[in-house]
Structure 1
Amino acid sequence: MSKVFVIHENSIWVEPLRTAFAELKTPYEEWFLDQGVLNLRAPPPEGVFYNRMSASSHTRDHRYAAEYTGAVLAWLERHGRTIVNDSRALRLEISKVAQYEALAAFGIRTPDTIAVVGKDNIAEAAKELGYPLILKHNRGGKGLGVRLFLSSAALDEHLTSPEFEDPVDGITLVQRYIQAPEPFITRLEFIGGRFVYAVRVDTSQGFELCPADACQVDAVAIGSAACPAVAPSEKFRIVEGYENPLIPTYEKFLAANGIGIAGIEVIADQDGRIYTYDVNTNTNYNPDAEARAGLFGMLTIAKHLDHLLKETRTARAA
């Protein structure tokens, strides 16, 4: 019997989806892609494949999980399987450079960015861009590695300190800092390629913005001041009646890049200009914010996948 296959490398993040599948009685199976063997001579099983591989997988000691997932997706695509967040989506998940170039193709504004390979080249790139600026990893996730610098002296001190982190793919992004009039960003959630809701995220305590409970616990463990668990109770708040003229463009962008489920993070500067700075194809949701609003992302995802599964069964029976 065909089923939904969930591709991931973090079991905790899948717990809400398991609950939703149980409620809908949707048959599913999890593929934990950290290590394994992929037999390219055999066809994949029938079903719907939901790719939740994360750019931050290497931070959980799953160094080659994304690369392994890329191989599995190529195999699935060759056999014509139905995939939610395909290999094009994975490419954008693990490379912000790829994200920004794909967004630019749709006329979507991103912060001015210079990609740098080699720590010795960062200072020169920063001089060209100007201050204030932030450093971030091209392949990061959860805001890991993000640092704000107001001067060249502060940057030079960081680059020679043990605090500097080498990106896993060797690419550091030097990016113009967008000064918002208030300390928050907005994350737009899309399921089935369509806008579902927007959540306002308080950034006053830092850059780790993942809304999942698991991220909150992890941040406490490492003593992060940015942890949502110790932040104000309104750190995550779903915005009622949210409007953004870019939503139709975002939906076209997602469709063109094989992305069915994603969170897109945006920030507005003091003049009201909107900048899109991150696309998360492994999206998570904040349960407290959803409970207050009566909206449930994982249940909506489960319903979407269940619908796709029924469609594939009908197509095979025809």
Structure 2
Amino acid sequence: MSAKVYIIHENEEWTEPLKVHLEKLGVPFEDWFLHEGSLDLTTVPPEGVFYNRMSASSHTRGHRYAPEYTAAVLSWLESHGRLVLNDRRALALEVSKVAQYNALRQHGITTPKTIAAVGKDPLIEAADNFDGPFITKHNRAGKGLGVQLFQSKDALKQYVESDDFEESIDGITLLQDYIESPDSSITRCEFVGGEFLYAVRVDTSEGFELCPADVCQVGDSFCPTTEKPKFEIIKDFDHPILKNYESFLKANGITFAGIECIENKNGELFTYDVNTNTNYNPDAERVSNLSGMREIAKTLEHALAQVQL
């Protein structure tokens, strides 16, 4: 069997744009939808390039154990020396913001003050460590899961003890300093092949769910359906933090990612999210004549050619 690209994922909608570009380039590929299945550890994997696009938010689509199954598959692939792009280290960061923040800080990247809590009482008590507004978020998240803004411990207590409280799928809820942007925006830096591709300004004035994909969940307010674009590619973006980001990606087996950051009124930059299952906003890309998925497809084409040597 000849080598090909294998796409590991759990969401057809997010993967379809990549398949279109692979087909245009004539790159042979196979779709591995890892919602469930079985893995015979005595077998040998096929030859090829394995692109891991597993998402931390898979449980919101009914795929609760897809990341765990993917971790097993990636371990099997790597034990046989197969080329995995966004490897096991990348997956471990995808499903844990605690792991993300610890890894980011090792590369001189500032993250917001964050406390991880398990259990309702410890979560409420953790609010004593914040002097101003703070937010909650899920440790295993994506799509802004669990993000709520609070002005006080009492407000948090009321929420946590109510029926509206939504627990993280892994039981770990984060409390984090609320970083207020002067212009209600965040910046998302996209990396392909471990190198900076472009940055997007995202309008956050209507909430926290920052889904850049064309196909979004019902109710998402961040899809490009209003006159004012929510996503806008920043022309000639440059910042010293990009070198730190690239160093972080290389050290953690991440080939493709979107990294989100925010500046406060004092111009201090805080990095708060790494998305190894990155998606792109088609309207913003169309305006700037750029395509993240096209660049990913070209990177996969090159990697496959190297494997076939």
Shorter chain as denominator, the TM-score bin is: over 0.9
For structure 2, the 5+ residue unaligned runs are none
Q: What is the distance in 2 between the residues matched to 1:14 and 1:200?
A: 23
TM-score relative to the length of structure 1: 0.95
Seen in structure 2, the aligned counterparts of structure 1 residues 232 and 125 have a Cα distance that, compared at 3 Å, is farther
Q: What is the distance in 2 between the residues matched to 1:278 and 1:145?
A: 14
Q: What is the distance in 1 between the residues matched to 2:7 and 2:228?
A: 31
Q: What is the distance in 2 between the residues matched to 1:71 and 1:232?
A: 45
Residue range with higher mean Cα deviation, 122-131 or 188-197 = 122-131
TM-score relative to the length of structure 2: 0.98
CA drift of 1:227 comes to: 3.7
CA drift of 1:150 comes to: 1.1
Preserved CA contact (<8 Å) 2:6 2:29 = yes
- The aligned residue for residue 191 of structure 2 is 190
1:282 aligns with 2:277: yes
Q: What is the distance in 1 between the residues matched to 2:129 and 2:212?
A: 34
Deviations 1:60-117 (A, max 9, x none): 1100000000000000110010111000000000000000000011110000000001
Q: Letter of the 1:260 partner, please give it.
A: T
- The aligned residue for residue 131 of structure 2 is 130
Q: What is the distance in 2 between the residues matched to 1:102 and 1:153?
A: 32
Q: Letter of the 1:175 partner, please give it.
A: Q
Q: Map 1:139-218 onto structure 2 (within 5 A).
A: 139-215=140-216, 218=217
**Aligned partner (choices 221, 244, 251) of residue 249 of structure 1:** 244
Secondary structure of 1:196's partner? strand
Q: What is the distance in 2 between the residues matched to 1:203 and 1:122?
A: 26
Q: What is the distance in 2 between the residues matched to 1:134 and 1:232?
A: 29
Q: Map 1:1-318 onto structure 2 (within 5 A).
A: 1-215=2-216, 218-220=217-219, 224=220, 226-314=221-309
Secondary structure of 2:16's partner? helix
Q: What is the distance in 1 between the residues matched to 2:99 and 2:132?
A: 24
What is the Cα-based RMSD across aligned positions, in Å? 1.0
Deviations 1:136-185 (A, max 9, x none): 00001011110000122321221121111011101000000001111000
Secondary structure of 1:219's partner? coil
Q: What is the distance in 2 between the residues matched to 1:116 and 1:292?
A: 42
Preserved CA contact (<8 Å) 1:264 1:278 = yes
Preserved CA contact (<8 Å) 2:115 2:174 = yes
Q: Letter of the 1:289 partner, please give it.
A: A
Q: Letter of the 1:219 partner, please give it.
A: V
Secondary structure of 1:213's partner? coil
Preserved CA contact (<8 Å) 1:85 1:260 = yes
Secondary structure of 1:45's partner? coil
Secondary structure of 1:35's partner? coil
Q: What is the distance in 1 between the residues matched to 2:213 and 2:264?
A: 26
Preserved CA contact (<8 Å) 1:254 1:260 = yes
CA drift of 1:129 comes to: 2.2
Kindly tell me the number of residue pairs found equivalent between the two proteins: 308
CA drift of 1:272 comes to: 0.3
Preserved CA contact (<8 Å) 1:205 1:231 = no
For structure 1, the 5+ residue unaligned runs are none
Identity %: 57
Residue range with higher mean Cα deviation, 229-238 or 261-270 = 229-238
Residue range with higher mean Cα deviation, 123-132 or 135-144 = 123-132
Preserved CA contact (<8 Å) 1:219 1:227 = no
Q: What is the distance in 2 between the residues matched to 1:119 and 1:104?
A: 28
Q: Letter of the 1:108 partner, please give it.
A: I
CA drift of 1:232 comes to: 4.7
Secondary structure of 2:69's partner? helix
CA drift of 1:233 comes to: 3.2
Poorly superposed stretches of 4+, deviation over 6 Å: none
